[in-house]
Amino acid sequence: MKKSLENVREKCPLVHCITNYVTVNDVANALLAIGGSPIMADDIEETSDITSICNALVINIGTLNQRTIPAMFDAGKTASQLGHPVVLDPVGAGASALRTKTALEIMEKVKPQVIRGNISEIKTLACGSGFTSGVDAAEQDAVTEENLDTAVAFVKEFAKNTGAVIAVTGKIDLVSDAEKCYIIRNGAAQMSRITGTGCQLSAICAAFAAANPDDMCTAVAAAVCAMGYAGQLGVLKMDQKDGNCALRGYIIDALYNMTGDKLSQGAKYEIR
C-alpha cells in the first residue's frame, strides 16, 4: 500500500476525467491532493487528443448526456489503444435505463481495467438485479458481516467475467480481481452525507492504477484504503459546529497530507 501511494506521488499521473458536473471540482482537488494531476475534457472533438497526453482515464456517468456519451466511448477507445488504464464509475446505474445501458456498453466496448461503484450499481451491471436509491446504494443490497462470504464470491466472479478489478464501496469495501479480494474496513458513516466521495475515489483509483501498472488490484485497494482512512481522519477533526461541508474539505486535506507510512498504519484490511 505504501509503495502504491508513493508511486502516485512520484509519477504524478495526468488523469483525463470525463465526469459529472456535480462533483467535478472536488474530483480535481482530490486528484491534486493525492499527487496526481487532472484534466477535464468531454467534447468528442478533443477527447482523443486529451487522452493521448494523459496516463489514465476515468469515465464517470453521473450527468451523462447525448453530447458526452460519444466522447466517453471515443476517449475509452483511445486509452485502450494506448494501454492506459480506464476506470469506470457507473454512477446511478439502475436509476435510469440510459445509465444502465451506457455503463454496460462501456464495459463491453472499452473493457475498463477498473470498475468502482456502490453495491447496487455493481449488482445492476453484474446481474441486472440491483436495487437503487438514486445515486446511493439501497439498504437491501448492502454488504454486511453476515453476507460477506457471498459478497466476496460475487465480486470475484464479476472480476473474473469482466477481466477488471472491481471495487465495491460502502460500509465494508471490497476490491477484487479474479483471484483475491481485499476486504476493507476503513471509512466513516458520515461520508455518505457528502456528495462526491465516490467520484473522487474513482479518479484517485485511475491515478493509482496508472502509477502501479504491475499490480492494479493492490493499487486500487490502496486507493480505497486511502480514501476511507482520510474519511476517518476527517471525522476525527470535526468539531461540534462542523457538518458535511467541513468534513468534505477535511477529507481532501487528509489526502493531501497522506504519506505512504500513514497509509500503511491506517489501512485496515484483510485478503481472502
Closest residue by Cα to residue 94 from 49, 132, 56: 132
- The answer to the question of residue 84 lying near a second copy (CB under 8 A) is no
Choose, by CB under 8 A, the member of 2, 6, 11, 14 that binds a second copy.
14
Q: Should residue 113 be labelled a site residue for a second copy when binding is judged by CB under 8 A?
A: no
By CB under 8 A, name the one of 97, 108, 146, 270 that touches a second copy: 97
* Contact assessment for residue 64 and residue 98, using Cβ atoms and an 8 Å cutoff: yes
For residue 93, the minimal CB distance to a second copy (Å) is: 11
Which residues are registered as beta bridge partners of 92? Answer: none
d(CA 192, CA 169): 11
242 binds a second copy (CB under 8 A): yes
In this chain, which of 78, 132, 176, 212 binds a second copy, going by CB under 8 A? 132
**Which of 185, 253, 264, 268 is the binder for a second copy (CB under 8 A)?**
253
Is residue 185 a contact point for a second copy (CB under 8 A)?
no
Q: Which residue's entry shows cell 457471498?
A: 150
Nearer to a second copy, 92 or 260 (CB): 92
Phi, psi of 46 (to 5 degrees): -130, -5
Q: Rule CB under 8 A: say whether 81 interacts with a second copy.
A: no
Grid cell 489501512 in the structure block, residue:
267
Q: Is 109 in the site for a second copy (CB under 8 A)?
A: no
Applying CB under 8 A, the site for a second copy has a residue count of 63
Cβ–Cβ < 8 Å for 244, 192:
no
Q: 155-172 burial, b for 16+ CB within 10 Å, e for fewer?
A: bbebbeebebbbbbbbbb
**189 binds a second copy, rule: CB under 8 A:** no
Pairing of strands 173-176, 181-184: antiparallel
Residues in contact with a second copy by the rule CB under 8 A = 14, 20-26, 28-29, 32-33, 37-43, 45-46, 49-50, 53-54, 62-67, 92, 95-99, 132-136, 193-196, 237, 240-246, 248-250, 252-257
